[in-house]
């Protein structure tokens, strides 16, 4: 079978983007009050919740279509780092009943976004000729 890295990047972008977009849609429907509360607990201003929402919706949509993929991945990964530090760091090394790391979902999002910062979106992206693609 012939290797097709660009098809792999398309699948990777679609997976990360669609799964994160569901989080953004949830906030679109239900609001960002939950995130505002979490931010307030650590002494951060509530308006940052809208940045989280943008990262989960706009950055996710940009990954899906492949427009400025590397730039979108920077925003996406930034949101994942903040989410990890705020909601997933304690207990850091805990395992669930199945033996899986409790934070593997956020880790996949975070490191997937990080990977796209380095690779870009591939040739099946909406934009491919800019340094941020």
pLDDT in tens, 99-108: 777 778 899 9
**Integer Cα distance of 77 and 56 in angstroms:** 10
At 95 the pLDDT is: 78
pLDDT at 116: 97
Helix (H) or strand (E) holding 108: helix 104-119
Q: How many CA atoms lie within 13 A of 114 on its CB side?
A: 8
- pTM given for the model: 0.88
Digit-coded pLDDT (tens) for 35-47: 899 888 888 899 9
The whole-angstrom separation of Cα 132 and Cα 129 is 8
Q: What is the pLDDT of residues 108-128, one digit of tens each?
A: 999 999 999 999 999 999 999
- Distance CA(125)–CA(133), nearest Å, equals 8
Q: Which residues face 70 on adjacent strands?
A: none
What is the arithmetic mean of pLDDT over 8-19? 97
């Amino acid at each position: 079978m012939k290797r097709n890295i660009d098809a792999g990047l398309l699948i990777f972008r679609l997976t990360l983007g669609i799964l994160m977009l569901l989080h953004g849609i949830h906030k679109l429907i239900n609001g960002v009050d939950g995130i505002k509360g979490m931010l307030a607990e650590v002494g951060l201003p509530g308006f940052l919740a809208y940045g989280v929402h943008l990262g989960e919706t706009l950055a996710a949509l940009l990954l899906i279509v492949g427009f400025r993929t590397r730039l979108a991945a920077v925003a996406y990964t930034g949101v994942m780092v903040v989410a990890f530090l705020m909601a997933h760091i304690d207990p850091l090394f805990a395992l669930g009943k199945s033996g899986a790391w409790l934070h593997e979902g956020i880790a996949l999002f975070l490191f997937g976004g990080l990977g796209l910062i380095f690779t870009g979106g591939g040739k099946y992206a909406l934009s491919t000729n800019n340094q941020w693609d």
